[in-house]
Structures are given as structure tokens and as C-alpha cells.
Structure 1
């Protein structure tokens, strides 16, 4: 009984403390410089999620072009949000002197899709705007769900 109560208290403290994870109470990512191992885990997890989603998409669409893969990555919120977190976590690690590539590198396929020259500057802007819109929309959805609870 004591262990159950202690476990519940620890869970409550952990879930209410923004320093426990690099996400605030609204679910927004923030750089947690005081816990770089956590930042490394967040970076590894987001890279793994993106690579997994790419492989899953390719298993269903084996003849997908780089353009189709790129469109999938920027239009699917399940992929765009981990990409945003990956980029923010990468910047956090770099600003704290940690090389993200020493932790994990995205797959060569992922790097190819975003480095493809045919996408150009306009596509980069479109991707950035789309990504920002997806993250803002997801945060609004999360807030409205929390308000209903």
C-alpha cells in the first residue's frame, strides 16, 4: 500500500514538473539544458520516428518519388511534429556543445528527400510554413482537448 501511494506521488510530481521533460504543460517543446541526456533521448526518438515513418510509407508505396516522400513528410502531422521536435532538439544540443551526429544521424533517405535540389528555396519556405501551421494547429487541438477534460 505504501509503495502504491509513493508511486502515485512520484508520478504526480513528475508529471507536474516542467523540468522532468522538455515539454511544457501545453505540450510545447523547450530546450532543457540542465538535462542533456534527456535532450539526447528526445533527439534519438524523433529521428527514429521519422525514419520509421519513412520506411512504413515506402513499404506501402515502394515506387514513391523523392517529391512524394517530401510531400508526405510535410503534410502528415504525425511526421511533421517529430521533425519539428528533432530540429529544435538538434539546435538545443548544438547550443550546448553536443554534436547531434555523434548521437544519431537521420537515415540517408531522409537526408536525400530534404536535400533534393529540385525542391529549392520556395519549397523550403513552404515546408517551414506548413510545419509551423501543423505545430500550431496540433497545440490548439491539444489545448481544446485538455479544456474538455
Structure 2
């Protein structure tokens, strides 16, 4: 495939700069581009950093990520307290118990997350990020979570 001159000048160094700018690991970056971590490592070896990228879809995907940064995977931990508040839940045992069910965790685990600044697991983080990306109202998000969790 023929790419514009500007795009054919994209290098592995551009890929690494993009990865570092967004605070991604090599595995996370490779997954964002649909390649293995091994391929990412081979693409970004020091001896090839200055060479133009050869895979047109990688170049186009990089350009898409540059033009639409909202598409870049987010590896940052969501603020669990902020999400809890967003859902309109109260600081009471009944709501904390329901929230635990909605995030697939025990009540004691949810309490640790909410009251003692615990760290969410990757699975819970991705679940919350997926829900947030839907851009639903708090009520619709809560209803969706209840529907999926069957509560």
C-alpha cells in the first residue's frame, strides 16, 4: 500500500515516543496495535529506531491514535471513590454491599477500596473504564451494571 510522504517517514522512534507519552508498557502498546509484545520489541530495537516503519497498518494506527488520543488505551487506575459518587451511591453499608456486587467483589474488598484507598485489580479497573467509556448518565450506568450483575 502506498502511504503519503508524511506517513512513510514515521519511524520506530515515533512508536516509542507515543508509548512513553501515554505511559504504556510495551505489552500494553503492542496490544493497542494488535501485535505481540515480541513484535513490538523487534520493531523498536535501538538499531532500527530511526528507520521508517514498513507496516502500513501500524503507521495508520499510529496516525489515528495521534489524531484521536481518546482512543489510546488507558492504563491508569480509575478513582473508585469518584466512580462510586458518580453512581449516586451513599456512604452506607447497604450501598457499599450493592457496589461490591456490581464490581464483582466481596463487601470487605469494596470497603477497603472505598474507605482505605485500596488498589483495584486490573479486571475491576477495566470494568469501570469500559462503563465510563459508554458515556451514560449515572443512573443509566447504575441500571446497566445492575442488569448485567442480575441484581
* TM-score (normalised: structure 1): 0.26
More contact order relative to length (CA 8 Å, sep ≥ 6): 1
Q: Which has the higher helix share?
A: 1
- TM-score, length basis structure 2: 0.26
| Structure possessing the higher radius of gyration over alpha carbons | 2
